[in-house]
Amino acid sequence: MQLNIYNVAILSFVLSGVLNWFIVNLTKSFQFEKSKDNNEQRLVNENIPPLGGVATATAFFIGVSFLGEADYNFVQIGFFALLISLVGVVDDLFNINWKIKLFFQILFVSLPIINLNIFLNIESLLNVNLNNIINFSGSILWIVLLINAINFIDNMDGLAVVVTGSICYQSIILTYALNQNKLTDISVVLLFVILGFFIFNFPPAKLYLGDSGSLFIGFCLGFISILFTWNSGQQHTLSNTLSPLILFFTIPLLDFLIVLKDRVRRGVSPTTGGTDHISHRLLAKGLSEKKVLLIFKSYSIFNFLIILGYVFLNNILSMIALVIFVIQFVFLFNYIKKLEILK
């Protein structure tokens, strides 16, 4: 049965809310402990279940199933998103080795890419011929990188939801403006299942995304970016095609690069959890969690305005917007990495 996007959005929100409510109440008597060696450290020690992701992923899979036969690709992507979420559940409950988790990430990203024959379609814009192995490998590497960048950003109540929710609504605006209506639909579904979860994740949180949620959301956003370049590569300019790659992941990748550089410098394994993320450094300056969320939200809007300028202004102004983006990104990277790590 096919529903219009408005009904699917409402259905997705309600399903996500109900399923997450069910998990909150079902797990009240459970004890959840996670090893600090494998996970990003939070600032609370409450017994909060890290299982919001599996309910959110289930709601997403059901939601995209109602988009109709034309969106069968999205159903397949939703199915593998649910599988990768289950890998996250196992990790949340049993702390599996990071190498095993990485193996399943690569596996569940590779299967839909190969089966659907989609990849980052940059070669047509750059007028170069790339071997399919390079195309597929680059696409898999890109999505796996994003999955783990989103996983890194999930380190404070509401933060991953604010960041990924912002990416979703900005994706809705951009894909709609560029006539990528199918990607608009899947972005809408993803946004509304995230909002259904946010009811229970707003500080003070009753439920965490956990790896089940961060892996799922990173997976979906990665495929949206892949599908965007695949669909628009022959039709639009380089800025239109590359914009989602810049837009979607500025904050997660900024945090990922800062943390990675800092841990390598200190001789600490990148897979070891810590309080060295952007959010932690802002908290160390005395800001409250809600103010930190506001900063992330405000920067997301500022970044989006730059990207809109990059996409829709004329050539000269578009390049100026891109230069502004690069300058502010480099400035933030160098400024934030100097901030004190939260003790």
**Residue boundaries of the structural domains of the chain:** 5-336
Contact assessment for residue 66 and residue 3, using Cβ atoms and an 8 Å cutoff = yes
Tens of pLDDT, residue by residue over 199-214, are 998 877 888 888 899 9
Query: Which residues 6+ apart lie within 8 Å of 64 measured at CB?
Result: 71, 74, 75, 77, 78, 186, 189
Whole-model pTM: value is 0.85
Angle at 237 between CA 175 and CA 180, to 5 degrees: 20
Helical H segments across the chain, by residue range: 5-26, 52-65, 72-94, 98-116, 123-126, 132-153, 159-177, 181-201, 210-232, 238-247, 250-265, 278-284, 289-312, 315-336
For the chain, 343 residues long, give each residue's pLDDT as a single digit of tens.
Answer: 677 888 999 999 999 999 999 999 888 767 665 544 444 555 544 568 888 888 999 999 999 888 875 555 778 888 899 899 999 999 888 888 889 999 999 999 999 998 888 777 656 555 566 667 777 888 899 899 989 988 888 888 888 889 999 889 888 988 888 788 888 999 999 999 999 999 998 877 888 888 899 999 999 998 888 887 665 444 445 555 555 566 667 888 889 888 888 888 888 888 777 888 999 999 988 888 889 999 998 888 888 888 777 777 777 877 787 788 888 888 888 888 888 887 6
Q: Using CB atoms within 10 A of its CB, is residue 218 exposed (0-12), middle (13-18) or buried (19+)? A: buried
Tens of pLDDT, residue by residue over 249-260, are 788 888 988 888
Q: CA 54 to CA 61: how far, in whole Å? A: 11
| Amino acid letter for position 60 | F
